[in-house]
């Protein structure tokens, strides 16, 4: 099924694409991340990070018939060795397109486009955990956070 899918990379060198603007990508993520998503303002922060020439990363779009059917967002951490160079911040596939291999192909292309190690955070009940493990991701640490108001 993924042979009809095109992939488009957006970063701080290519800039935004008029057809696939930052707001359109944010709208897609807001709708298709389901219960694993964030607030729009946080999604926009991750997208802005990509286009900041001092920070960077990329947005990888899966496109079919000019429509976004999948999105992966990778932010560069600016570190290496003790912290992976990249973090997969978001990945989502259109609700109507799931189970067709788009998520796997999107991840494989994101991995190929990334230099260095990649970290990601995934909730234990997210079905994508199995895909991540199959692609070679391991869970070395238990993440703990202290949230302050």
Are 20 and 68 a contacting pair, CB within 8 Å? Answer: yes
Residue 64 lies in a domain: yes
Are 62 and 7 a contacting pair, CB within 8 Å? Answer: yes
Residue 31 lies in a domain: yes
Is pLDDT at 91 greater than 80 in this prediction? yes
CATH number of the domain within which 47 lies = 3.40.630.30
- Could you tell me which of 97, 10, 1 has the C-alpha nearest to residue 48? 10
pLDDT one-digit tens code per residue, 10-42: 999 888 888 999 999 999 999 999 888 899 999
Residue 79 lies in a domain: yes
Residue 15 lies in a domain: yes
The reported pLDDT for the residue numbered 141 is: 78
pLDDT one-digit tens code per residue, 50-73: 999 899 999 999 999 999 999 999
Question: What gap in Å lies between CA 26 and CA 3, rounded to an integer?
Answer: 25
Beta-strand ranges (E) seen in the chain are 6-10, 57-64, 67-76, 86-93, 118-120
Domain ranges, residue 70: 2-120
């Amino acid at each position: 099924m993924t042979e009809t899918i095109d992939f488009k990379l957006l970063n701080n060198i290519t800039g935004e694409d008029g057809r696939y603007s930052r707001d359109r990508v944010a709208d897609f993520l807001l709708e298709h991340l389901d219960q694993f998503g964030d607030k729009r303002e946080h999604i926009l922060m991750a997208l802005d990070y990509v286009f900041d020439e001092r920070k960077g990363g990329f947005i990888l779009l899966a496109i079919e018939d000019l429509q976004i059917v999948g999105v992966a967002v990778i932010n560069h951490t600016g570190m290496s060795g003790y912290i992976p160079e990249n973090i997969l911040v978001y990945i989502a596939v259109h609700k109507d397109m799931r189970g067709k291999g788009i998520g796997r192909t999107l991840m494989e292309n994101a991995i190929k486009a990334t230099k260095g190690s990649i970290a990601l955070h995934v909730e234990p009940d997210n079905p994508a955990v199995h895909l991540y493990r199959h692609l070679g991701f391991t869970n070395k640490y238990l993440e703990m956070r202290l949230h302050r108001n």
